[in-house]
């Protein structure tokens, strides 16, 4: 019998939710309102910039779309290749994400002082690295941890949380214990990433206000720890069932040496 030990997917999802909240608020504060964890905000801001001729930053915001798509495509192809070879893609993708976050931290910390205006190319480059890291995370949730709630899209999680909370407080069938248990399970599944995202955003906002994008070292380390834990857990341990002495010999002795011919 083979048993495979690995870090809990639920805990991985919780940590990634905190990472997403941290990275998103850090980019928003340090990069003049750029969103790195999701593209929706940048699309809306891009339309707003286009509508307002006096605003700047349209090119930088629009550039995040192909950057995000490219990182998702690369992560998806990497996942496909690893699975085709019989491997588990979670650890390599977490490693790739940790490396991208480390690059985001170094680039943001080293060059942010040169980004004096929104349309500066430095903002585009630094935000692109962070967006690429979050593209990998979105691929992990979409292609590997698909059974769990999203870690970057809090609108859906908040919607599910509100619906399940309403069903618990005002149930349709008060005596249906099974349905109430399912509601509580779905409430926890959507509420955990929501809470972790909020905690990550609070911590990220405070640290980024103090040290700038050097604060990204925290989510980079957290993702690296997840990758290391996945590596430790990916080792397969062979558990041999206990057998009395001579058991195998008795089995072999009692087995016929050849099959009787069919008549």
Q: What is the pLDDT of residues 103-120, one digit of tens each?
A: 999 999 888 655 555 557
pLDDT digits (tens, 9 = 90+) for 40-66: 877 887 777 667 655 556 777 888 889
DSSP for residue 110: H
**What's the mean pLDDT when you consider all of the chain?**
82
pTM above 0.75, yes or no: yes
Least confident of 94-103, 111-120, 157-166: 111-120
| pLDDT for residue 231 | 67
Gap between the Cα atoms of 111 and 99, Å rounded: 18
Looking at the structure, give the CATH architecture of the domain made up of residues 2-237.
Answer: Up-down Bundle (1.20)
Banded model confidence at residue 262, pLDDT cuts 50, 70, 90: very low
- Is there a contact between 31 and 209 (Cβ–Cβ < 8 Å)? no
| Angle (CA) 172 174 177, round 5° | 110
Name residues whose C-beta falls within 8 Å of residue 227's C-beta, 6 or more positions apart in sequence. Answer: 91, 94, 95, 97, 98
| pLDDT for residue 116 | 54
Residue pointed to by tokens 């003049």: 32
Gap between the Cα atoms of 125 and 114, Å rounded: 12
Element housing 237 (H / E): strand 236-238
Q: How is the chain split into domains, by residue range? A: 2-237
Gap between the Cα atoms of 176 and 184, Å rounded: 13
């Amino acid at each position: 019998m083979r048993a495979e030990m690995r870090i809990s997917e639920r805990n991985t999802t919780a940590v990634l939710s905190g990472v997403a909240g941290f990275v998103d608020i850090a980019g928003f504060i340090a990069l003049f309102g750029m969103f790195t964890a999701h593209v929706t905000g940048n699309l809306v801001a891009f339309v707003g910039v286009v509508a307002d001729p006096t605003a700047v930053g349209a090119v930088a915001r629009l550039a995040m779309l192909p950057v995000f798509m490219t990182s998702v495509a690369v992560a998806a192809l990497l996942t496909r290749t690893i699975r085709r070879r019989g491997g588990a893609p979670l650890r390599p993708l977490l490693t790739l994400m940790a490396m991208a976050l480390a690059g985001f931290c170094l680039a943001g910390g080293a060059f942010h002082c040169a980004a004096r205006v929104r349309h500066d190319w430095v903002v585009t480059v630094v935000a692109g690295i962070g967006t690429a890291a979050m593209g990998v995370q979105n691929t992990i949730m979409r292609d590997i941890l698909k059974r769990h709630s999203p870690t970057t899209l809090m609108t859906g999680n908040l919607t599910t949380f509100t619906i399940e909370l309403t069903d618990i407080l005002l149930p349709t069938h008060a005596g249906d214990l099974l349905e109430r248990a399912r509601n509580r399970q779905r409430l926890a599944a959507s509420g955990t990433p929501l809470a972790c995202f909020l905690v990550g955003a609070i911590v990220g906002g405070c640290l980024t206000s103090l040290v700038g994008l050097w604060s990204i070292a925290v989510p980079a380390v957290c993702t690296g720890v997840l990758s290391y834990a996945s590596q430790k857990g990916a080792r397969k341990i062979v558990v041999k069932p206990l057998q009395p002495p001579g058991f195998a010999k008795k089995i072999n002795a009692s087995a016929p040496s050849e099959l009787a011919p069919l008549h």
